[in-house]
Structure 1
Amino acid sequence: MVGTPPSLGKQPSIDQNPQGGGPDNMTSKEVSMLIFGLGWTSNYLVPKLNKEKISYAGTTTTGRDGSYKFKFSYDPALDPSSSSSEDLEQYRVLPTAETLLITFPIKGKEAIKYFLDSYQKTHDKKNDYHVILLGSTGIWSIEGQEQWVTRHSKYDTKDARAEVEDWLTERGGCALNLSGLWGGERNVKHWIDRVASSKEQLKTKNSLHMIHGEDVARAIIAVHGQWNDGKGSRWMLTDMVVYDWWELILGFGGELDSQNQNDERARKQLKWVGELMRENDVRALPRSMEQLGRCYDTREFWKTFGLMPTRARLSSVP
């Protein structure tokens, strides 16, 4: 299971450092990276772009904090080769960029074709754009999957987001498929009630794969800077740790419920973990990889780009 917290938390202001991006780039005709969707990931990406002095601009649906106002929409009933002048205008005002980073989900190859066609129609550029699309490791969650899963393993080819990734990578783009995201308000200990509301529910919880926002940002910048290594590929991204839900609950359950002054709930959840360990002959946690089931092997990404995860331990520290 991959956790997905409900809150995006406080979003970054694009004007944190005009040397990297910010309002000064609102009048620029070209930037290094154009971020479609300044959402949760940008909490970590924007500061790193500023630090690396990589020029950028970004969009939000409201145009807040000096960003470009942009809201993607696609009507499959319309001719994908045609775009209304009103819709094209929101593309036309955007700067030309070396890298287009798409952080929101696009479903169906006709939709991604429309998106890129609309941008290209409104921007002159001699060379092809480098397109990075953020996806999900959920496409590998299929029946009959092998225990150790890599980016080369079979996946749900009928998934609408996977279809977009296939289309994009076949044309030289890059898909970064992220596991469960954490950092800031996205804290695993806040999800315990969702996975441990009953003993029967907890019994089904096995492996968990995560990636911290800091490492997502580092990965994006690495692909941007080493495009020849990333292009034409779908990459799986985790912090290279396979977590055990039972172990996490044993570590976090009491801490969270003590904070909430709900000791009864804490005792109940911890009691279930102990009972399940005895019933399943689990002598110690974490459980073995064989007991945890699906395990993601993401060494290839980190080796290819010469990196290692820096936040490879779930903790209460954001």
Structure 2
Amino acid sequence: MPVELLILGAGWTSTFLFPLCQQHRLSFAATTRSGHNSTIKFHFDQNSDDSEPFKVLPDAKTVLITFPITARGGSQKLIRLYKSTRADDLNPAFIQLGATSIWGGLRRHKDGPNPKVITPAENKWYDRHSSYNSNERSDAEDELLALSLETPTTVLDLAGLYGGNRTMKRWVGKVAPTKEILRNKGSIHMIHGIDVARAIIAIHKDFSKAVGQRWLLTDGRVYDWWDLASAWGSGPGDAANSNLGPDAEDCGPQAAWVRELMRETGVRALPRSNETLGRALDSREFWETFRITPLKGRMEE
């Protein structure tokens, strides 16, 4: 049966997207490699031109691609094979999920006499129009966006995901197991799963605003790893403190390390300024364009 939304790859995001589709009365179908939990068994082979696997997929108004495409020509191939197994008058729209990590960090120059030169990005504000890293994944996203003249396409690059069984408190001990590692930790950007789902549905309902665009999605905040480590520590439930009992008051050494680092570096209060944290991501344009606001505007878990 035709559906409004086809989800290629029913992973963690689907735990928020499924109930929201039902709430909005949007028909949907989803795929997994195994076909478990009433999903459609499907696997996209980036190196194959066989359209047979696509024939089991339903017609859809919007197709959401949750897995990364990395092969040259892969994005074009997925769209071509899906559309080749549809009626000629069906022209679905495609959303590719990506990652905000393409902004900041190391950057490979696409243009110029030496395109292989890699330089660190500046510590500054980045929005969706800022220059970004060139890698296999972002190149495939560029390829998808280039198809937008004939097929509606868009890319939604997500910050760190949390919510449900993803609790950031559990990660402090893994991210900052020593004081020296914590010293070098700066900014972190996050988005709750429910707001990812809301963003996807907002695009689906008003795709004309998204065609050919790459979006940057965060909850609108720049978090400071020192601030989080100071507030949470590694936690009694963290692997770093597995020897502690469930009622232990000791949440690890991170809070003390933060106080020492603040004294050593002259930081008077938390969170630190953006100039100290490093890159800062500005996602305002997405929320303003689609006239919605994050339900989870501050990470508290």
Q: TM-score range by the shorter chain?
A: 0.7 to 0.9
Task: Give 1:54 shift.
Answer: 0.6
Which amino acid in structure 2 is aligned with residue 128 of structure 1?
A: N
SS at match of 2:63: strand
Q: Within 5 Å, which residues of 2 pair with 1:293-312?
A: 293-312=278-297
| 8 A contact 1:145–1:154 mirrored in 2 | no
Q: Within 5 Å, which residues of 2 pair with 1:69-84?
A: 69-75=41-47, 83-84=49-50
Structure 1 equivalent of residue 229 of structure 2: 249
Q: Does 1:282 align with 2:267?
A: yes
Question: 1:76-131 CA deviation, whole Å, 9 max, x = no partner?
Answer: xx6xxxx23xxx22210111111010001111341112211211111114142200
Task: Give 1:240 shift.
Answer: 0.3
Structure 2 equivalent of residue 56 of structure 1: 28
SS at match of 2:29: strand
Q: Within 5 Å, which residues of 2 pair with 1:1-318?
A: 28=1, 30-75=2-47, 83-84=49-50, 88-142=51-105, 143-157=120-134, 159-172=135-148, 173-253=153-233, 255-256=235-236, 261=244, 266-316=251-301
Which amino acid in structure 1 is aligned with residue 262 of structure 2?
A: M
State how far apart, in whole Å, the 2-side matches of 1:110 and 1:89 are: 19
SS at match of 2:288: helix
Structure 1 equivalent of residue 115 of structure 2: none
State how far apart, in whole Å, the 1-side matches of 2:32 and 2:26 are: 20
SS at match of 2:202: helix
Structure 2 equivalent of residue 7 of structure 1: none
| 8 A contact 2:233–2:253 mirrored in 1 | no
SS at match of 1:283: coil
Question: 1:3-62 CA deviation, whole Å, 9 max, x = no partner?
Answer: xxxxxxxxxxxxxxxxxxxxxxxxx1x111110011000000000000101111110111
SS at match of 1:141: coil
State how far apart, in whole Å, the 2-side matches of 1:264 and 1:224 are: 47
Q: Greater helix percent: which structure?
A: 1
| 8 A contact 2:62–2:94 mirrored in 1 | yes
State how far apart, in whole Å, the 1-side matches of 2:122 and 2:144 are: 24
State how far apart, in whole Å, the 1-side matches of 2:159 and 2:270 are: 22
State how far apart, in whole Å, the 2-side matches of 1:48 and 1:125 are: 30
Which amino acid in structure 2 is aligned with residue 292 of structure 1?
A: L
In terms of mean alpha carbon deviation, does 183-192 or 203-212 score higher?
183-192
Task: Give 1:264 shift.
Answer: 9.5
State how far apart, in whole Å, the 2-side matches of 1:265 and 1:117 are: 56
> For residues 195 and 264 of structure 1, do their structure 2 counterparts lie closer, same or farther at Cα, with a shift above 3 Å needed?
farther
State how far apart, in whole Å, the 1-side matches of 2:78 and 2:147 are: 14
SS at match of 1:302: helix
Task: Give 1:299 shift.
Answer: 0.3
Structure 2 equivalent of residue 21 of structure 1: none
Identity across aligned pairs (percent)? 43
Which amino acid in structure 2 is aligned with residue 58 of structure 1?
A: A
| 8 A contact 2:234–2:251 mirrored in 1 | yes
Question: 1:149-183 CA deviation, whole Å, 9 max, x = no partner?
Answer: 001111112x1111111111122210000000000
> For residues 199 and 305 of structure 1, do their structure 2 counterparts lie closer, same or farther at Cα, with a shift above 3 Å needed?
same
| 8 A contact 2:95–2:156 mirrored in 1 | yes
> For residues 41 and 257 of structure 1, do their structure 2 counterparts lie closer, same or farther at Cα, with a shift above 3 Å needed?
closer
> For residues 307 and 264 of structure 1, do their structure 2 counterparts lie closer, same or farther at Cα, with a shift above 3 Å needed?
closer
SS at match of 1:171: helix
Which amino acid in structure 1 is aligned with residue 272 of structure 2?
A: R
> For residues 269 and 101 of structure 1, do their structure 2 counterparts lie closer, same or farther at Cα, with a shift above 3 Å needed?
same
- Structure 2 residue ranges without an equivalent (≥5): 106-119
Which amino acid in structure 2 is aligned with residue 135 of structure 1?
A: G
RMSD between aligned residues: 1.8
Question: 1:128-147 CA deviation, whole Å, 9 max, x = no partner?
Answer: 22000000011112313350
Question: 1:231-269 CA deviation, whole Å, 9 max, x = no partner?
Answer: 110000000000000110111116546996276973522
SS at match of 1:112: helix
| 8 A contact 2:83–2:90 mirrored in 1 | no
State how far apart, in whole Å, the 1-side matches of 2:165 and 2:60 are: 31
